[in-house]
């Protein structure tokens, strides 16, 4: 890549640099954190730089206060390699009397409890999560259907998508959103995802806290998570799926380590502030950081996915949720899923702190639209009856088959490659 491809997180970084003393960008390795942060930084210190026998890391360990000296915003790349830097930065933000935009930090792992900084950094350090690239960032999406427009309750214009069918969806899933894959063939892009999995299993999951973990057990757990992508599988289901290869306690420890390196990125259940009680289920939806990781773990390719509609549908849901999370974050919103005791399930709810929300169903093709519409209308009736405000929009995201439009029932149907922040 010779030019910078704009990322949805750019405007959040710019905003928070004008508010907070420091901004932390965290997320999985290879998602582009350092490249993006460098565009805002005036100086930098990379703790993974091997120059001078890792002189930067040695300086950070010996004299954290000196390591953070430099033109601002000063980028500290992979700060978690020396957790003492966090407290040094927090102290320096206070010493500079709250002057915003002093530091940028990037991190692909969260320190374990023993290495946690003394202070949380509340009020001084904002936290932003960066994901792999979305279809909008990759230039695949036209961006005709803006999430900001939907959250504001505004109508959409008719728009065509460019995805022609199942083969195109399968290809996008296999390629994933890795910046290094841009411009490469699908086969080469798939090698990136496979190499990522190898690195996680052989090294990263043990380096996060120095605890040696069995690579085969890590791979078995990741493979189970891939088989359960976009489902509500709990610990019991995962344990059963693993067939006794991993105990419940090991499962929890390994899962926690994978969360610390941002490989697991589950979608939580939504809990609206209802005036009247409704019984909601608590389970999170299983998700890996990028759909291509699930493809690699399943040993799939574009041809095998195109011939397996069930797996393709689950991975397509994962792709849409991945992109919706990025678009929602750019609008200061979050993504959850809805599942209640009456077994009403809606794939995603995009919600703001002020109570604004959008209900979303995700369907691979247009034949599933009537079922999705019924779910959205049922959810709207149920929540409004219990005191919740109506949704700002009801959205069905499809893979292909028709242009973006609004149905007579007021439901917006949009191909995934028309979505944008």
* First-to-final CA distance of the chain: 23
Task: Strands of 225-344 (E only): list them.
Answer: 334-339
Same-domain pairing of 38 and 185: no
Q: Which of 416, 408, 347, 404 is nearest to 379 (CA)?
A: 347
Residue 1, in any domain of the structure: no
Collapse the DSSP code of 359 into the 3-class scheme (helix H, G, I; strand E, B; otherwise coil) and give the result: strand
Question: Which of 129, 152, 175 finishes a domain?
Answer: 129
Dump pLDDT digits (tens) for 374-386: 999 999 999 999 8
Dump pLDDT digits (tens) for 238-283: 999 998 888 899 999 999 999 999 999 999 999 887 665 667 888 8
Residue 3, in any domain of the structure: no
pLDDT-derived band at 2 (thresholds 50, 70, 90) equals low
Phi, psi of 297 (to 5 degrees): -70, -30
Window from 185-199, 265-279, 338-352, 374-388 with minimum mean pLDDT: 265-279
Residue 249: other Cβ atoms inside 10 A: 8
Collapse the DSSP code of 264 into the 3-class scheme (helix H, G, I; strand E, B; otherwise coil) and give the result: strand
Question: Which of 129, 145, 178 finishes a domain?
Answer: 129
Distances from the Cα of 271 to the Cα of 112, 389, 413, angstroms: 29, 14, 25
Q: Which of 175, 181, 226, 182 is nearest to 200 (CA)?
A: 226
CATH code, domain with 17: 3.40.50
**Using CA atoms, how far apart are residues 318 and 347, in angstroms rounded to an integer?**
10
pLDDT-derived band at 116 (thresholds 50, 70, 90) equals low
User: Is the previous residue joined to 199 through a cis bond, with omega within 30 degrees of 0?
Assistant: no
Q: What is the pTM (predicted TM-score) of this model? A: 0.94
Instruction: Say how many CA atoms lie within 13 Å of 413 toward its Cβ.
Output: 23
Question: Which of 129, 158, 180 finishes a domain?
Answer: 129
Dump pLDDT digits (tens) for 44-83: 999 999 999 999 999 999 999 999 999 999 999 999 999 9
Same-domain pairing of 239 and 351: yes
């Amino acid at each position: 890549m010779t030019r910078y491809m704009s990322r949805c997180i750019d405007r959040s970084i710019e905003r928070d640099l004008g508010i907070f003393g420091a901004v932390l960008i965290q997320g999985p390795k290879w998602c582009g954190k350092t490249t993006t942060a460098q565009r805002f930084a005036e100086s930098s210190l990379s703790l993974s730089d091997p120059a001078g026998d890792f002189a930067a890391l040695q300086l950070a360990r010996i004299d954290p206060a000196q390591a953070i000296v430099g033109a601002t915003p000063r980028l500290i790349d992979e700060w978690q390699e020396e957790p003492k830097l966090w407290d040094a930065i927090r102290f320096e933000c206070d010493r500079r009397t709250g002057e915003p935009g002093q530091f940028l930090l990037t991190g692909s792992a969260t320190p374990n409890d023993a290495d946690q900084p003394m202070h949380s950094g509340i009020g001084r350090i904002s936290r932003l999560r960066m994901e792999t690239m979305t279809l909008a960032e990759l230039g695949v999406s036209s961006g005709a259907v803006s999430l900001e427009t939907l959250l504001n309750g505004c109508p959409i214009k008719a728009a065509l998508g460019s995805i022609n069918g199942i083969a195109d969806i399968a290809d996008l899933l296999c390629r994933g959103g890795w910046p290094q894959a841009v411009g490469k063939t699908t086969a080469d892009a798939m090698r990136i995802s496979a190499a990522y999995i190898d690195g996680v299993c052989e090294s990263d999951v043990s380096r996060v806290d120095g605890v040696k973990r069995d690579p085969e057990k890590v791979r078995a757990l990741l493979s189970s998570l891939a088989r359960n992508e976009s489902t509500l599988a709990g610990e019991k289901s995962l344990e059963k799926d693993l067939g006794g290869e991993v105990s419940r306690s090991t499962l929890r420890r390994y899962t926690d380590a994978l969360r610390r390196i941002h490989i697991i990125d589950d979608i939580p259940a939504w809990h609206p502030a209802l005036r009247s009680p409704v019984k909601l289920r608590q389970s999170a939806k299983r998700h890996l950081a990028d759909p291509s990781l699930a493809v690699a773990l399943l040993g799939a390719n574009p041809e095998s996915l195109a011939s397996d509609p069930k797996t393709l549908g689950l991975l397509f849901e994962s792709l849409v949720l991945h992109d919706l999370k990025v678009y929602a974050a750019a609008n200061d919103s979050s993504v959850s899923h809805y599942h209640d005791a009456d077994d009403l399930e809606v794939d995603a709810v995009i919600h703001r702190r002020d109570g604004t929300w959008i209900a979303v169903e995700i369907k691979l093709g247009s034949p599933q639209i009537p079922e999705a519409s019924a779910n959205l209308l049922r959810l709207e009736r149920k929540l409004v009856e219990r005191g919740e405000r109506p949704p700002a929009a009801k959205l069905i995201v499809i893979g292909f088959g028709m242009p973006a439009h609004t149905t007579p029932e007021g439901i917006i149907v949009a191909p995934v490659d028309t979505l944008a922040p």
